[in-house]
Amino acid sequence: MFDGVAKRYDLMNDLLSLGQTKNWRKAATAIIKPAAGMKILDLAAGTGASSRPLADAGAEVYPVDFSQGMLDSGRKRHPDLHFTLGDALNIPFKDNEFDVTTISFGLRNTNDVNKALQEALRVTKDGGRLVVVEFSHPTNKIFRTVYMKYLMALLPKISRKLSSNPDAYVYLAESIQAWPTQSELAQKIAVAGWKQTSWKNLTFGIVAIHSAVKVAK
């Protein structure tokens, strides 16, 4: 599915989010605080849109994705990044290797969220951080109702006109609706072994950025 939408993936995301993806990336970058000397793992990195600002800030960034189509598109756009084929459930790196492990709009696509969070914990250094950017649930009840109607009704219709693989965006709408709330995801992160879990809502809770720390045992 992701191979099929790779070429227009970033454009479609910008269109369907009404241009909000850039603001979400800026917010995530501000929380990660990339700098020279930092080693960052970007899981489910797709074409590298989330990795680019981290690398531009001087960090050593490793974008990982299990879609070869996404990686191929990413390498064309960002030939200087260390794109790696890999699965978030079996990360192809050693223990305690990264200062920050981040995943943007990809945790929801794993078939074992707890395993993905445990793998992220494994490859992160003691004192290192996890930053998860993911679609979530609007906090205002009225806006949440309007948003869910957009997801389940309008988004699939729009994608049928704009995308060569509209079923991917039907999946997107359904997976967002079934995803845990902010507090429920924070609990999952804590159960996986992370500490000091917190989150920040963006765009009224359409997206939430969860953060946590790996504490040495």
CATH code of the domain covering residue 73: 3.40.50.150
Residue span of the structural domain in which 92 resides: 18-138+180-213
Asked whether residue 30 is domain-assigned, the answer is yes
Write down the H helix ranges in 17-67.
20-32, 52-56
pTM of the model: 0.87
pLDDT at 1: 47
pLDDT at 161: 63
Asked whether residue 169 is domain-assigned, the answer is no
Asked whether residue 92 is domain-assigned, the answer is yes
pLDDT at 163: 57
pLDDT at 187: 98
β-bridge mates for residue 90, sequence order: 87
Residue 207, number of CB atoms within 10 A of its CB: 23
Asked whether residue 101 is domain-assigned, the answer is yes
**Number of domains forming the structure of the chain:** 1
pLDDT 10s digits, 156-196: 676 666 555 666 667 777 888 889 999 999 999 999 999 99
Asked whether residue 133 is domain-assigned, the answer is yes
pLDDT at 149: 75
Asked whether residue 166 is domain-assigned, the answer is no
Sites in the chain below the pLDDT cut of 70: 1-19, 151-152, 155-156, 158-169
Asked whether residue 52 is domain-assigned, the answer is yes
Asked whether residue 95 is domain-assigned, the answer is yes
pLDDT at 93: 98
β-bridge mates for residue 85, sequence order: 65
pLDDT at 205: 92
